[in-house]
Amino acid sequence: MFRQARWDEPLIFELSRPGRRGFIVPEIDPAIKEAVGDIKIPAKLRREKPPELPEVSEVEVIRHYTRLTQMSYGVDNGPVPLGSCTMKYNPRVAFEIAFDPRITMLHPLQDERTVQGLLEILYHLQEWLKHITGMDYCCLHPAAGAHGELAGMLLTRKYHELRGQLDKKREIIVPDSAHGTNPASASMAGFKVVEVPSDENGNIDLDALRAAVGESTAGLMITNPSTLGLFEENIEEITRIIHSVDGLLYYDGANLNGIMGYTRPGDMGFDIAHINIHKTFSSPHGGGGPGAGPICIKDRVVDPDKNIWLHDLLPGYRVVYDEEKDMYRLEGPSKHSIGLLKTFFGNVIPLVWGYVYILSLGARGLRLATEQAVLNTNYFVELIKDVRGYSIPYGPGRHRKHEVVISAEKMKDETGVTAEDVAKGLLDVGLHAPTIYFPLIVKEALMTEFTESETIENIEEYAKRLKEISQIAYTNPSKAKEWPLSTSVKRIDNVRANHPKTLAPTWRIYLRKMRKADSNV
């Protein structure tokens, strides 16, 4: 039986006692002192008073965070089938290599000659990602999926700018099943966003698309397979429509795990794609990040007179191999580049992690991972599709890829038990909930993605619990409103928890609120 630890754990700040310390900073090595001389920090950089950091001993820090770990849940505890998140297992071999001090202790400004090994790793990763996506150039610079999207949208903008048509090209089209970050990224790049509906098969409604596309269309963003877990069957027609008005196609790689090794965005006609290393290529995320969101492009001429190509617009740094000197080096942003999107090269640790993952699995292994992930989804669909209260909207009878969206709308209408209650009922037995209430086009959505990591036993266990929840909903619905009882934190009131009055994003804001509350008493 599942019972999560429940500590009355104070905040680390509340454990602080004046003068207590966890470690003593060593004196500067005499040899360094002699070489560098006295280090004087300029007055304008000095703090006037010490930072308000917690003062605690090392053992307190370890115990504090161990207890917090006991109260939390992740891939290492059990299944985390959050849809569109691809929460696969984070292999320890990759951890060991990515966190080797020979990598973690490197400095970004170090001489290239001293980091040839790391540059070789990153160079190979660039090359492999090109093969996996079917694109011509990959750039490892962006730090996350949405960061890659932003890079892609800035590329699109620059493309139209250099072609002298940015005044007309004002709109980016996104399907209504898109990730919420897609419209946000397009907006941040200064575009208007036009949302087109899905048809009952889960594909983009082509008539609606044709009606929306025109001379103002700058491009289209899409995940394929979609958040419904369905492969867009008309993708070639869609690329034709968008290219016919000189728009660019952006591939959101969040769901690459559903097609890897079987088809590639480059072959489907996409111009720009991002990859979530922290999803498809196994580096930790969801609190365990940071992520990495490389972007890849299919090259095309931007300005034939000036010989500008799309790859000239890529942001940040790329690793190039200098055959003559047999050396790897970093190439900075060129004249027409959209520039730097962050300091330095990129998030190297997850990139190395992804490198190890790809190297361990090999081409056949990656394809097998996708097969297993898709098989897991469809096995789960078979277990759940006839259970009372659930349904699987869009594309009836179609096989799902990496994920499936179940709707608990019928259950809600008939018993009052909502998708949120179902999620809490899963948590109560130690199973992580799926992504709920997304995509928005499915009411009472439970978006479920097991990935290839999950065992058949766990998938059956999950389906069994969903079946139990359905039985409880139809016999004793009030019980469903009490879940979860066995977790560290019981059910919270979302309205209160989200209310600006109760939210405290930082310790300092919390203190300020408490002081204010006290003075009101």
In angstroms, what is the minimal distance from the CB of 519 to other proteins?
26
- Among residues 293, 341, 297, 300, the alpha carbon closest in space to that of 317 is found at 341
Residue 274 binding other proteins, by CB under 8 A: no
Residue 84 binding other proteins, by CB under 8 A: yes
Cβ atoms 269, 253 nearer than 8 A: no
Element (H, E) at 480: helix 477-480
In the complex with other proteins, which residue's Cβ is closer, 142 or 145? 145
Residue 478 binding other proteins, by CB under 8 A: no
In the complex with other proteins, which residue's Cβ is closer, 157 or 179? 179
- Alpha-carbon distance of 511 to 521, in angstroms, equals 16
**Site residue total, other proteins (CB under 8 A):** 29
Residue 437 binding other proteins, by CB under 8 A: yes
Other Cβ atoms within 10 Å of 504 Cβ, number: 13
Residue 239 binding other proteins, by CB under 8 A: no
Among the listed residues 207, 236, 414, 460, the single contact to other proteins using CB under 8 A: 207
In the complex with other proteins, which residue's Cβ is closer, 211 or 485? 211
Among positions 209-228, residues that touch other proteins (CB under 8 A) are 211-212
Residue 179 binding other proteins, by CB under 8 A: yes
In the complex with other proteins, which residue's Cβ is closer, 168 or 467? 168
Among the listed residues 66, 104, 165, 187, the single contact to other proteins using CB under 8 A: 187
**Binding range to other proteins, per CB under 8 A, among 90-98, 125-133, 366-374, 493-501:** 493-501
Residue 498 binding other proteins, by CB under 8 A: yes
In angstroms, what is the minimal distance from the CB of 184 to other proteins?
5
- Alpha-carbon distance of 71 to 162, in angstroms, equals 53
Cβ atoms 249, 223 nearer than 8 A: no
Other Cβ atoms within 10 Å of 198 Cβ, number: 23
In angstroms, what is the minimal distance from the CB of 427 to other proteins?
15
In angstroms, what is the minimal distance from the CB of 423 to other proteins?
10
Q: Which two tokens stand for residue 156?
A: 């699109």
Residue 105 binding other proteins, by CB under 8 A: no
In the complex with other proteins, which residue's Cβ is closer, 177 or 282? 177
In the complex with other proteins, which residue's Cβ is closer, 191 or 345? 191
Cβ atoms 234, 208 nearer than 8 A: no
What's the 3-state SS for 374-414?
Answer: HHHHHHHHHHHCCCCCCECCCCCCCCCCCCEEEECHHHHHH
- Alpha-carbon distance of 251 to 126, in angstroms, equals 17
Cβ atoms 275, 252 nearer than 8 A: no
Q: Which two tokens stand for residue 8?
A: 């009355």
In angstroms, what is the minimal distance from the CB of 465 to other proteins?
21
Residue 393 binding other proteins, by CB under 8 A: no
Those residues with Cβ within 8 angstroms of residue 299's Cβ, 6 or more apart along the chain or in another chain: 136, 137, 309, 310, 311
Amino acid at residue number 474: Y
Element (H, E) at 69: helix 58-70
Residues that bind other proteins (CB under 8 A): 84, 171, 176, 179-181, 183-184, 187, 191-197, 207-208, 211-212, 420, 435-438, 440, 494-495, 498
